[in-house]
Amino acid sequence: MKFNSTLYQTTAQLVGQLPKGRSKALGALFSLWNSHPSWDPWLLKDGDVYRLFYLLGSSKSGPWWLEGKICGAISTDLEQWQDLGTVLEVSPEHSWEAGRMLAGCALKENGIYYLFYSAAGEGAEIMNEGIGLATSRDGIHWQRSPRELVKPDANHRWYGQYKRSLGGCDYDHYQWRDPYVVKDEQTGLYYMFICAYRKEGGKGAYRGCVGLAVADRIDGSYELLPPAATPTIEGTQESPFYEMERPQVIYRNGQYHLFFSCWTTWLNPKWLGTVDRAQITDSSLYWYVADQITGPYRPVSQTPVVSGSSRSGIYGTNFFSAPDAPDEFIAYGWYCKRMTLAISPFVRVIWNQDSIRLSI
């Protein structure tokens, strides 16, 4: 099976601009397209091949994200893709990943592929998230570790969970997902950035932070460090964000740059009153910087949003080396209104010394 990401992009933009209820045909197209929603892609350059991983779900039996599994595809040009089918799905043998699969990242070292991913249990544990690792020698067949790779215990100092209420039901949400692993070339250490929930020093529901762990081997063991980013609204102990999803760290121009996403639903109203609301949408990509890889990361401005991202329609935006210019980047993610992947070499990142802009 092959799919064309540019076709996905064009159709998503077209349908997204048409008024709702325009015709029965459009309604049927919307239902068909969203019967198999796809989201949270991540990429790996493997020689002359690009390896794509993404989440695939179903909207037939409840919220689309409840049935996520990790699928894969390969391409030589980032436009035409060959589907590889399911890479990893929930594992009844491991209770911590028996409910749903979540996003991660992939690396290759010494001929071995490393797939870092996140997952959650089933039933009452559906919001109890954890991080795992699977390895492969061919990029197709994967061997997963039976244990969580790194997870704070219940009494951990820096990270914890929050009791939320939804639909009249109370549940514990343990945010611990979206691992992004980068090797620091200066020290040879591996740093894992994580969408996490701040315990120490936080107050109220808004405690989104970027967690951090370190190891001297790519496969661990990983030691927990204090959060790399703990945004705080001045005069409070609250974060602007309930969650800081799909974190990515890139070293450029003598600094470490942290990017992440957050749905507008999960932004702190106290913070929204202090920023330029015109730049805040679901697709806004937030931008922080630090002098050290471990942080602390700080916002680049009062409204720390990458220019153009608020209009992209893409959620969970990550940067990736451009195929025709390795020192430049493209932006990719998924169209949050259409639930389709946004993988194309045409969304360029214009990154100058002190500014970043998406060319939409």
Average pLDDT for the chain: 88
Q: What integer pLDDT is reported at residue 168 of this predicted model?
A: 57
Looking at the predicted structure, is the pLDDT value of residue 19 above 90? no
DSSP assigned state of 263: -
Burial grade of 166 (CB within 10 A; 0-12, 13-18, 19 or more): exposed
Cα 138–chain centre separation: 25
Catalytic residue among 243, 245, 324, 327: 245
pLDDT, tens digit, for every residue of 230-249? Answer: 999 999 999 999 999 999 99
CA distance 135 to 34: 31
Catalytic residue among 40, 125, 129, 238: 40
What domains sit in the chain, N to C, each tagged with a CATH number? 36-359 (2.115.10.20)
Instruction: Determine contact, residues 54/356, Cβ cutoff 8 Å.
Output: no
Alpha-carbon distance values, 187 to 184, 191, 292 (Å): 6, 11, 12
pLDDT, tens digit, for every residue of 149-199? Answer: 999 998 999 999 887 665 555 668 899 999 999 999 989 999 999 999 999
| 245 included as an active-site residue | yes
pLDDT, tens digit, for every residue of 242-272? Answer: 999 999 999 999 999 999 999 999 999 999 9
pTM for this prediction: 0.90
